[in-house]
Amino acid sequence: MSIPRLRIATYNLQKCIGLDLRRRPDRTLQVIEAIQAHVVVLQEVDKRLPPRPAALPHGMVEDHGWRILPFGAPGGSLGWHGNAMLASPDVEVCDTGHINLPGLEPRGAIYADLQTPIGEIRIVGLHLGLLRHYRLLQIAAIVRHLRQLPYMSTVFAGDFNEWGTGRDLDATAKGVSFIQSPPSFPALSPVARLDRFALSSELSHLDTDIHSAQPARIASDHLPVWADIIRSKV
């Protein structure tokens, strides 16, 4: 009998502007569809200028069967501070929320409590700042916020903007541990593990990889990363 698993992907869309400098949301959605994930955590989903409407149109996403999780952002945004989350039809959404993060740049994180093929899971989607000092403050702010919520098995997923080993992030992210995901940036020749996952102790992963089949290598400057998550404890 196969082990129940949850496939999560994280993908920085770069506002759906590819390396050919063309904004092609249809191409971005083609990449997302090919990953065959239950949940997709997205970054840079909105256009840059106010009112910052979604670069990946709501109708296009929903026409392909995805549920767009609500995070309360105004002005037609797909998520919150550029972070968004899509769920497949076999995932039930129980609750969602957002977290304002400290830093020189406007940053935020999102979280969703979901009923999935491996049970109830909380997924935190994030896009951390460019400066390490603020990345650590942002992770600490997320951890503090989650401690105020009822405990749930948790996955952090997103663009951590960390070019190094990530030891400082790992030490600051109390309650979760990072898995060794492959390099995802830049898309044409990946060398940096900017896009990562961290799991609470009840969870482990069977596999993780980048999705590099075309048009992924031209659709954004990041490649999407996915992980198959299982329960390590009953």
CA distance 164 to 162: 6
**pLDDT-derived band at 1, boundaries 50, 70, 90:** low
- Beta-carbon contacts of 70 under 8 Å, excluding residues fewer than 6 positions away, are 96
Using the predicted structure, report yes or no on whether residue 118 has a pLDDT greater than 80.
yes
89-122: b (≥16 Cβ within 10 Å) or e? eebeeeebbbbebebeeebbbbbbbbebebeebb
Output the pLDDT for position 46: 86
The string of pLDDT tens digits covering residues 161-204 is 999 888 899 899 999 999 999 999 999 999 999 999 999 999 99
pLDDT, residue 51, reads 56
**pLDDT tens sequence across 4-32:** 999 999 999 999 999 999 999 999 999 99
Global pTM value: 0.95
CA neighbor of 116 nearest in space, from 234, 229, 233: 229
Q: Tell me, what's the pLDDT at 205?
A: 96
Coil vs helix vs strand at 63: helix
pLDDT of the residue at 72: 74
Q: How far is CA 180 from CA 42, 147, 196, 207, 210, in A?
A: 20, 25, 8, 10, 12
If we measure between CA atoms, which residue out of 105, 102, 106, 123 comes closest to residue 114?
123
Sequence ranges of the domains in the chain? 6-231
Cα separations in angstroms, 219 against 17, 30, 43, 77: 7, 9, 14, 20
The stretches of the chain forming alpha helices (DSSP H) are 25-35, 58-63, 132-147, 167-172, 216-219
Could you tell me the CA-to-CA distances from 113 to 5, 61, 151, 178 in Å, in that order? 17, 21, 11, 20
The model's confidence at residue 153, banded by pLDDT at 50, 70 and 90, is very high
Question: Of how many residues is the chain composed?
Answer: 234
pLDDT digits (tens, 9 = 90+) for 54-78: 889 999 999 999 999 998 776 678 8
Q: In the structure encoding, which two tokens stand for residue 229, read together?
A: 């998550």
More confident residue, 151 or 234: 151
Nearest to 32 by CA among 167, 222, 173: 222
Mean pLDDT for the stretch of residues 38-61: 85
Which pLDDT score, from 0 to 100, does residue 28 have?
97
Average pLDDT along the chain: 93
Report the top-level CATH class of 6-231.
alpha beta
pLDDT digits (tens, 9 = 90+) for 218-231: 999 999 999 999 99
- Confidence at 215, pLDDT banded by 50, 70, 90: very high
Q: Give DSSP secondary structure letters for 120-186.
A: EEEEEEEE--SSHHHHHHHHHHHHHHHHTSPP--EEEEEE----S--HHHHHHSTT-EE--PPP-BS
Higher confidence at residue 109 or residue 78?
109
